[in-house]
Structure 1
Amino acid sequence: MSTASYLKKHTEALVKDVGVEAACAITGKSKATLGRYYSENDEHDDRFMPIDVVAALEAASRFPHVTSALADLRGITLSYDSDKHDGASKGVNQDVVALAQRFAMLMSEYNQAISDGKITVNESKRMLRETLALQQVLLQMKLNLEEEAG
């Protein structure tokens, strides 16, 4: 997968995380304009979401999809600032349970996807959603561990 394609996939995930209608309201952009930012059509190859639009959408999203993708491309690991994190801490023990549950859900999606010997685009998208959810749990767990370590 090319860098451009990777960024477009994460841009699409960001818009869908927020919701297309909400994304339009937040950014003042039309559905068509937002769609062009993650379109894989040749005519939109060089079109990417402006950084201010990314920032506005990520502020409303559950996960910083584009920022995470950019970090991944550079080999950087992200860490949330616990003072700015909105969610209430559940503690490490509950994080471990959530981690096990999310991993089980990912494995279930994988098992279903591979059962016919081929992973379709939709199956891949479902596994990606579970992977992102698993990543969120890991980030929350990291925050809780850092807090306990002082």
Structure 2
Amino acid sequence: MASVGSYLKKHTEALVKDVGIEAACDLTGKSKATLGRYYSDHDEHSDRFMPVDAVAALEEASSYPHVTSALAELKGISLSFDERRRNQEKSGGVSTDVIALSQRFAMLMAEYHQSIEDGVITINEAKRLLKETLALQQVLIDMKLHLEDEAG
């Protein structure tokens, strides 16, 4: 449990730093000291974790759901993070999706070609490949939804 706690504390710290300490205080109603205790690795704070409502408030304001993704990883679950805004209108249809699919696949292949050029895929290259793969996956999900709409 100690390693799990340490893992969650690191992601809690990343979440607070993503939002900013002052903004995190405002969003959660907690002091800087209290927030610091939630991610402190000192023995006296080992059993203190951020409440789930505070995590939810911070993740709404953050660029990435740090704690949620950490919890998912601990359970062996992978999340698909869609950086687009939820309220964004999805225009076009299957034809638009096919074009986007071919463009994304071309970008993935270009990234792969560049990454494998020296025979080694570095961590940063792997991250870029993963980002392109996730973007390609999102286009496929959009296409699936459009096909389901058309099928009625």
- TM-score tier after normalising by the smaller chain length: 0.5 to 0.7
Query: Aligned with 2:47: secondary structure?
Result: coil
Q: Is the 8 A contact 1:7 1:70 kept in 2?
A: yes
Equivalent residue, structure 2, for 1:52: 53
1:14 aligns with 2:15: yes
Equivalent residue, structure 1, for 2:139: 144
Which structure has the bigger radius of gyration? 2
Equivalent residue, structure 1, for 2:43: 42
Q: Is the 8 A contact 2:111 2:129 kept in 1?
A: no
Calculate the TM-score normalised by the size of structure 1.
0.65
Query: Aligned with 1:2: secondary structure?
Result: helix
CA distance in 1, matches of 2:129, 2:57: 24
CA distance in 1, matches of 2:30, 2:131: 28
Q: Is the 8 A contact 2:15 2:62 kept in 1?
A: yes
Query: Aligned with 1:24: secondary structure?
Result: helix
Q: Is the 8 A contact 2:104 2:132 kept in 1?
A: no
CA distance in 2, matches of 1:74, 1:136: 22
Query: Aligned with 2:35: secondary structure?
Result: helix
CA distance in 1, matches of 2:82, 2:124: 31
Counterpart AA for 1:70: L
CA distance in 2, matches of 1:18, 1:136: 22
Q: How many residues align?
A: 126
CA distance in 1, matches of 2:48, 2:32: 15
Percent of aligned pairs with the same amino acid: 52
Alignment of 1:73-88 (within 5 A): 73-80=74-81, 85=86
Q: Is the 8 A contact 1:63 1:136 kept in 2?
A: no
Equivalent residue, structure 1, for 2:30: 29
**Which consecutive unaligned segments of at least 5 residues does structure 1 have?**
111-129
State the Cα RMSD in Å.
3.8
Residue 108 and residue 6 in structure 1: after superposition, are their counterparts in 2 closer, same or farther (change >3 A)? closer
Counterpart AA for 1:69: A
